Amino acid sequence: MQKSNKSIAGYHLLMILSSVDGEFAPAEGLKIQEYLAEEFPFKMNLDNELDAIAVLQPEQWKDHFEFHARCFFDDSTEKERKDFLHFSKSLIKADDEVTEREHHFYRLLKNMWFPS
């Protein structure tokens, strides 16, 4: 996989977080739109990124997620990572239900960036 910049890596992370529970809720889509508006104030074609995510099998999500977590880490400050974690938490809560799988991926991200 080719290294992604922080904004693209964040998109991948959020898309996987929103999908690991087996459904993509409209409220989660709105949160991702919020992220895109903040990170890409200009017109950006993310079709290739979405295609790359869409072809992943569920058993590939964890490796893809970890790869993009490392890409985000490399291009971000500690504050940006904390802000992204906060935003990620709001994403997984957006549909008023946090599944164990969503929580697992959130913890994975948190532990990669801020090991105890």
Q: List pLDDT tens digits, range 65-79.
A: 999 999 999 999 999
Which tokens is 7 given?
């904004």
Are the C-beta atoms of residues 94 and 14 closer than 8 Å to each other?
A: no
Nearest Cα neighbor of 68 from 87, 81, 83 is 81
Percentage of the chain exceeding pLDDT 70: 100
Answer yes or no: is 1 within a domain: no
Answer yes or no: is 24 within a domain: yes
pTM above 0.85, yes or no: yes
Q: Which CATH number goes with the domain that contains 49?
A: 1.10.3680
- Is residue 54 helix, strand or coil? helix
Query: Could you list the residue range(s) of the whole structural domain that residue 87 is in?
Result: 6-113
Question: Residue 98 has what DSSP assignment?
Answer: -
Answer yes or no: is 67 within a domain: yes
pLDDT number for residue 2: 85
> Left if phi > 0, otherwise alpha if psi is -120 to 50, otherwise beta: which for 22?
left
Answer yes or no: is 75 within a domain: yes
Which tokens is 54 given?
């869409």
Structural domain count, the chain: 1
